[in-house]
Structure 1
C-alpha cells in the first residue's frame, strides 16, 4: 500500500480527468464555486439546485433548477454524467434547523436518490460533501483522524442536520463498490467551517454564536477551510477514484481543512459592538424580533458547550492519499471584512428598544458563558 501511495505523487495528465460532472447544490456558495472551477478546468458541468445562483453561469456549465428529491428529474439530468459531486444539504443553520422533516427528506432522501441514480446511470464516481459534525457533538477532539474518531451515536447528535448528515455519509460509503457496468467508487470529504470571498453563512452562524474571535488564544480551537482549498480537495478526491490513481480514495473518508487551528471563544473582545450590530439587524418588526430572539436562545443553548472545547482534525490522510496541499489564507482578514460589511447605521427613532434589547442580549450571553464553562 505504501508503494501505491508514493506513486500518487507523480504528475498525471489532467486532461485524462475531464468528464461531464454534476454538482448538486450547485446554486449555493460552495457548490457554485466548485462548478465554476471545474468548468474553468475544461469539465462539462451541470449545476443542480432549487435556487438559482446569484452569479452568472460560467462558460462550460449548465444550470438546472430542480430538487434532488425529484427522482425522475434527477435521473434525466444525469444522462452521460461521469462523476457526481453531492454538495446539496438542508438545515445547517437558522430557522431551517427546526424543520426536521425537510432536513431529513433532503439530506437522507435526496442522498438516497443520488446513490440510486448513480447505480442506474452507471455513473462510476460519487464524491460526498459531509461535515466534521458527524463525529463531533460537544466532546473534545484534539487532532482527530479518520481512524480514531468514531461517529457520534444517533441519539447524541446536537441537531437533526448533523444526525442526517451522518446517516447520509454512511449510505454513500455503503454504496461504494456497487456493481455498475464497472463499479461505483465513492468517497466522503468532511470539511469544517467554510470561509472565503462572499461567504457569510458559516461565518455569520459562528460569529453569532461566539460574538467575537481572538486568534492566538490558548483556549478552545477548531479548524476552518478556505473555499478554494475545499474546491481543490473535491477535485483531487474525484481523480483519486479513478483506476489511474489506483482508486485510492474508494470507500474512504477525509477531514479537510486549512491545516491550522484557530481560537473559538473570547467573550470580551468586541462584545458590545457586535451585539449591537446583531440586534439592529432584527428590529424591523416586533414579531420578527421575538421569533429571532427565541430561536437564538434555543440555538445558543444547544451550542454553548461546543464552543468551549477543542475540536480539531488532522489532514494527514488527505495530504498523503489525495495529494491535498492547502494554500495559506487569513481567516482573521475574512472576519474583519465581514464585520465591516455588516455595519448598519442606527435609526435614532428606535434607540430605546435597541438598548433594551442590547441589555437582554448581554444578560443572555453572560448566562450562556456561565453554563458553558460550568459544563467543563
Structure 2
C-alpha cells in the first residue's frame, strides 16, 4: 500500500545550518560558470549536430529486440486501422507514432510544429493546434484510437509561462480532444499524464493508484502540474460517455515520471548544461531520496498495451483506469546521473547544502526570469517544482500496469543515452555572456542576502 506523508521539509529546523559553506558554493558556481572550460566541456570538441533516422523514420538507437517484442505483445490485438497522436511532433509522440506504423497502423502526427525527424512511412504530419476544434476534428477523420500526448509547460522556461497559456493547452485542449472523440465516434482515448498530478513536494513511498490522492490543486507551485491534474480527471470522467454513433468512449490515463532516451531534448541537455556550470556540484535534500524514470521505449510499450486493453477482446480492462508507468526501479538522482558526470570528466557531487537554500535560489531565479522576459529570455537552472522532484522521495508501484496491461519494462541504461547525446550535441555557444554574468551575479547576491537573513 502506498504511504502518503505530510511534508517533512520545513524552514525552521534548517536555521542552524552554517552559512559559510553555502556562500563558498556560490563562489564556486561563479568560478565554474565563466571558466574557459565552461563552453567547451572537458571532453574536447564535438561533432556537428546531425539527426539521422532509418529509412522508415524510426530512431536507429532503439534496441531492435525491444521493438520486436512490442509487435508481439500489442500488435495482434490492437484492433486499430488509423490512430491520431496529439503532440506527435514532440519526442515521445513521434516515437509512439513510429511504433504504431511498425504495427501496420496509419498514424496522424498532430502538432503545431513538424517533427525534427523524418516522418515515417505510414504516417502523415497534420499541422494544427490542439485547442482548435476544427483542426482536431479534421485530423480525426477515419481515426479509431486517439493518443493524447500534447501538453505545455513541463519544465524549465516553459513552466514559467502565463497561467492562461498553459491552462488553455492542457485543459481546454483536452476538452477539445474529448469532444471530437464523441463527434467522430472514436471509442478509445489514452492520455499521457504525469506523476506530478499526485506529487507536489510531499514524500510518497511506493504509491499506488488506489491510495494516493490528487495533490490539492491550490497547493501546486506550478501551473503545469495543476493543469495536468485537471486534464487527468477530465479524461477519467469521460470514460463511458455515449458517442454520437451509439457506442461508448473508453479512456485511460498513464502517469510517467521523467522521460529519457536517445534524442531526448528536455531533461538530459539541461542536466548536462548545469553540470558544466557547476550547479550540480552539490547535493541537497534527503541523501536517500528516491524517484523513478522511464525510458521512451518502455513508455511507448505501455501506451500500445493500454490501447489494446481498451478493446472488447480484452474486456475493456483499462477503461476508466489510471496507471503509473516507469522502468521498474527506484533511483537516487545524484547516483542515477553518475554516467553523465563520468562521460564529461567531472567528479561526482560532494558538497551538501540544505534544500531550502536551493529552493530559495530557484524562487529568485524564477522571478528574475519573469522580470527579464521582455529583454532577455533564459532557462532557469532549476524551478521550485524541480527542486522537490530531486530532494523529496516520490516512488510508485507499477503492479497494476503489469497485472492488467501486461506491462513488462525492458532494462535500459542511461549511459547509452548519454553516449548518443554527447556524440550528437551541438557546439555550445554563448551569445549573451554579459547578460549571463549580470544575471548570475544578481541571483547569487540575492541568495546570499536571504542566507544572511535566515
Normalised by the size of structure 2, how large is the TM-score? 0.67
Tell me the CA shift for residue 303 of structure 1: 3.6
List runs of 5+ in structure 2 lacking aligned partners: 1-71, 338-346, 352-371
Tell me the CA shift for residue 18 of structure 1: 3.4
Alpha-carbon displacement from aligned partner over 1:59-86 (angstroms, at most 9, x marks no partner): 1111110111110121122122110000
Q: 2:300 aligns with which of 226, 231, 239?
A: 231
1:248, 1:127 → 2: CA distance? 13
Relative to structure 2, which stretch is displaced further, 299-308 or 131-140?
A: 299-308
Tell me the CA shift for residue 288 of structure 1: 8.3
- 2:5 is matched with none
SS at match of 2:292: strand
- 2:387 is matched with 304
- 1:146 is matched with 209
Relative to structure 2, which stretch is displaced further, 112-121 or 259-268?
A: 259-268
Question: 1:68 and 2:123 equivalent?
Answer: no
- 1:199 is matched with 264
Q: 1:183 aligns with which of 237, 242, 248?
A: 248
The number of aligned residues is: 343
Relative to structure 2, which stretch is displaced further, 227-236 or 97-106?
A: 97-106
Tell me the CA shift for residue 263 of structure 1: 1.3
1:339, 1:361 → 2: CA distance? 29
Contact preservation (8 Å) 2:75, 2:103? no
SS at match of 2:331: strand
Alpha-carbon displacement from aligned partner over 1:41-75 (angstroms, at most 9, x marks no partner): 11111110000011111111111101111101211
- RMSD of aligned residue pairs (Cα, Å): 3.6
Distance change >3 Å, CA 213–CA 289, structure 1 → 2: farther
- 2:330 is matched with 261
Tell me the CA shift for residue 87 of structure 1: 0.3
Normalised by the size of structure 1, how large is the TM-score? 0.80
Q: 1:106 aligns with which of 151, 165, 169?
A: 169
2:424, 2:78 → 1: CA distance? 42
List runs of 5+ in structure 1 lacking aligned partners: 1-9, 273-286
Tell me the CA shift for residue 101 of structure 1: 1.2
1:74, 1:350 → 2: CA distance? 40
Alpha-carbon displacement from aligned partner over 1:324-358 (angstroms, at most 9, x marks no partner): 001000124434654675585788x9999988877
Contact preservation (8 Å) 2:290, 2:332? yes
- 1:124 is matched with 187
- 1:4 is matched with none
Alignment of 1:211-226 (within 5 A): 211=280, 219-226=288-295
- 2:28 is matched with none
SS at match of 1:172: helix
1:300, 1:83 → 2: CA distance? 35
SS at match of 1:126: strand
Structure scoring higher RCO (CA < 8 A, sep ≥ 6) equals 2
- 2:114 is matched with 52
Alignment of 1:1-376 (within 5 A): 14=76, 17-97=79-159, 98-180=161-243, 181-205=246-270, 208=274, 211=280, 219-265=288-334, 269=348, 291-292=376-377, 296=380, 299-335=382-418, 337-338=420-421, 344=427
Distance change >3 Å, CA 212–CA 146, structure 1 → 2: farther
1:343, 1:44 → 2: CA distance? 33
Alpha-carbon displacement from aligned partner over 1:295-349 (angstroms, at most 9, x marks no partner): 627x5345433321111111110000000001000124434654675585788x9
2:111, 2:270 → 1: CA distance? 22
